[in-house]
């Protein structure tokens, strides 16, 4: 059984989806059709109570009172993708990293393009902070939620871009 919730936030509507293992998806409303593994099925159930802690932490993050999420996550991906997503969790609030820096941190300094691909497939936006990845030149680069949302999230964290 999958549980879902649509949550209105500072940067638009978010789709939360998960099960008893944890949060599997946090997607921007317009992304839903682009995520192959996030197509609502007959076994999906709207359940506000299941996401009470998630929504509490998201509200605290958007109000500037939370710097690190503490939630059970259950994203599915390849071993490499999961390693990249874990490395994203290690980029502190208010800081950024480049694809190359993350590749180096993973012990694969030539894998920056693969890191970018894994970053783009992050199914738990914001909580797994893919918005903190910028180009090596310091410029904003792609973001599934759009560059305006990325800029808003970075500014929320006090990052001048």
pLDDT band of 52, cuts 50, 70, 90: very high
- Say how far apart CA 12 and CA 27 lie, in whole Å: 10
Q: Do 23 and 124 touch, CB atoms closer than 8 A?
A: yes
Active site (annotated) includes residue 38: no
Whole-number pLDDT of residue 119: 94
Q: Which long-range contacts (CB under 8 A, 24 or more apart) does 110-118 make?
A: 114/80, 115/84, 116/141, 116/142, 118/77, 118/78, 118/80, 118/81, 118/84, 118/85
pLDDT at residue 31 above 70?
A: no
Backbone angles phi, psi at 25, to 5 degrees: -140, 140
79-156 carries CATH number 1.10.10.10: yes
Catalytically annotated residue among 15, 26, 91, 130: 130
Q: Do 51 and 3 touch, CB atoms closer than 8 A?
A: yes
Backbone angles phi, psi at 77, to 5 degrees: -170, 180
CATH number for domain 2-62, candidates 3.40.50.720, 1.10.3720.10, 3.30.160.620, 3.30.160.70: 3.30.160.70
- Which residue ranges make up each domain of the chain? 2-62, 79-156
- Name the residue among 120, 117, 11 with its Cα closest to residue 58: 11
Whole-number pLDDT of residue 36: 43
Whole-number pLDDT of residue 141: 85
Better-scored residue on pLDDT, 129 or 45: 129
Percentage of the chain with pLDDT > 90? 71
pLDDT in tens, 103-160: 999 999 999 999 999 999 999 999 999 999 998 888 888 888 889 999 999 999 999 8
């Amino acid at each position: 059984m999958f549980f879902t919730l649509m949550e209105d936030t500072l940067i638009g509507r978010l789709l939360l989806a998960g099960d008893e293992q944890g949060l599997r998806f946090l997607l921007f409303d317009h992304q839903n059709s682009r995520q192959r593994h996030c197509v609502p099925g007959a076994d999906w159930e709207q359940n506000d109570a299941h996401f009470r802690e998630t929504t509490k932490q998201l509200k605290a993050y958007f109000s500037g009172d939370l710097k690190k999420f503490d939630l059970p996550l259950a994203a599915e991906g390849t071993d490499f993708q999961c390693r990249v997503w874990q490395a994203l969790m290690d980029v502190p609030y208010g800081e950024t990293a480049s694809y190359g820096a993350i590749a180096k941190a993973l012990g694969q300094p030539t894998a920056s393009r693969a890191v970018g691909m894994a970053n783009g497939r992050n199914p738990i936006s914001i909580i797994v902070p893919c918005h903190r990845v910028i180009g090596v030149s310091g410029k904003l680069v792609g973001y599934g939620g759009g560059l305006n949302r990325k800029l808003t999230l970075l500014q929320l964290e006090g990052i001048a871009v």
